[in-house]
Amino acid sequence: MTQDDLRGLSSDVENFKFQWQRERDLHTARTTRGLLIGGVVQTRVGWSDEPVNSATVNDRRATFSIGAALLSFNGSLYRDYEEGRNLTYQLRFGASPQQATNNSFLNLLDAQISYSPVPTISPEESTLLITLGQQLLPFGLEVPASEELKPVITNAQFTSRLGLARRDIGLIIRGDLFPQVDYGYDYRVGTLAYALGVIDGNGPNTTDDNTEKDFIGRLAFTVPTDYHSWLRQITLGGSVYFGWQNTFLKDEKKTLSGKGIKRRYGADLYYNHFPFGITYEFIYGQDEVTLGTTAEDPRKTELQSVSHVATFFYSFGAQFLKSMRNQGRYDDWWPKTYQPFIRIDTFDPDIDQARSRVDTYTLGLNVFFAETSKFQLNYNRRNDRADTLGAGNEVLAQLQGGF
């Protein structure tokens, strides 16, 4: 036997071991309940030319921080091997921008049980999923995206200013209709995707503060095309949120004064076709608040807010080479991909008030090392029209690792 023969035999053995393990992982029905443990760590450094000052902070311009530190558990409570009417659960703990205001590290983020009442074995069938528990809200594009999948380091302004960048507790039904499937490229998308839910509306890890329930809904249409069409993944969506919130007087004790409406309306566009991508969201909000200091004269008024968020990105790298499209990507292997982008984010909290709008412009770069591991660099220029000091500048760098 020559050295070449030995190396060839060794290579064949390694390929056999890989294929055998992969087939077992993908196709073996296990009698025990499967458990998948995952997590995300985001380490961040930032600098701003506008110093931060408070009762405990003195002229801080640069800082290290943790963007998110998450630990998740996903598993099956009941697996239907014949039709796929599965009962699953998800638990996620940690620190995250979309968490409760609790300062302890192990906040409960997601706690949900999901059931599929229709078969899910064939990707050509429509899906339906009923989820009960604490979960992200199906509103627009950015709000339902989990922490590890967000393209920008900081969330769009409206997500926090309008109380949407949070989990909530309730029942949400999600599904799609008329799916388009391309087995050769492992591509599936529903022509119509929908979500409808009822929630407490008071945020995560807390009980409802009034008897009203909030309702949320979303409908999205994706152009039905084959994989190679330039129209692939053009999606138009609309979202609504009908809720109620407690109102408080502007006195020292912030006395409860009653209830007011909380309405959110959104329209969005998503297009991602190599190498270009565009996302756009328009949000309109209505909030009843009280500006008075006494119960006799609460001065209840309605604030109307408007937001526009547009992102333009360009992707290139080894991931998109034709020679790599059909390669097996076992574990977390992923060829390097580069994604420069520009984002324009405007938010006006009160359209009836002059000079209340805040504009944020972001120039960024994402470098993907793996499917959930990446380096992000963002330059933010923030222009607060109510601030006489003018525009402020910020630089953020973040390294994310997923497992």
pLDDT averaged over every residue in the chain: 85
**Domain boundaries along the sequence of the chain:** 112-402
CB neighbour list of residue 73: distance below 8 Å, 6 or more residues apart: 35, 36, 37, 89, 90, 91, 92
Instruction: Match 């499917």 to its residue by tokens.
Output: 371
Q: What is the pLDDT of residues 341-373, one digit of tens each?
A: 999 999 999 998 888 899 999 999 999 887 678
Q: What is the pLDDT of residues 200-248, one digit of tens each?
A: 988 888 888 888 899 999 999 999 988 888 888 899 999 999 999 888 8
CA distance 108 to 110: 6
Q: What is the pLDDT of residues 25-64, one digit of tens each?
A: 666 655 556 788 889 999 999 999 888 887 788 888 898 9
- Segment 180-197 shows an average pLDDT of 88
**Tally of CB atoms within 10 A around 35:** 10
Cα 48–chain centre separation? 25
Write down the architecture of domain 112-402 according to CATH. Answer: Beta Barrel (2.40)
DSSP states of 253-315: T--EEEEEEEEEEEEEEEEEETTEEEEEEEEEEEEEEE--SSSS---EEEEEEEEEEEEEEE-
pLDDT at 108 exceeding the cut of 80: yes
Q: Note the pLDDT of residue 364.
A: 95
Instruction: Match 């200091």 to its residue by tokens.
Output: 293
Q: What is the pLDDT of residues 264-289, one digit of tens each?
A: 999 999 998 888 999 999 999 999 98
CA distance 140 to 312: 17
pTM of the predicted structure, to 2 decimals: 0.83
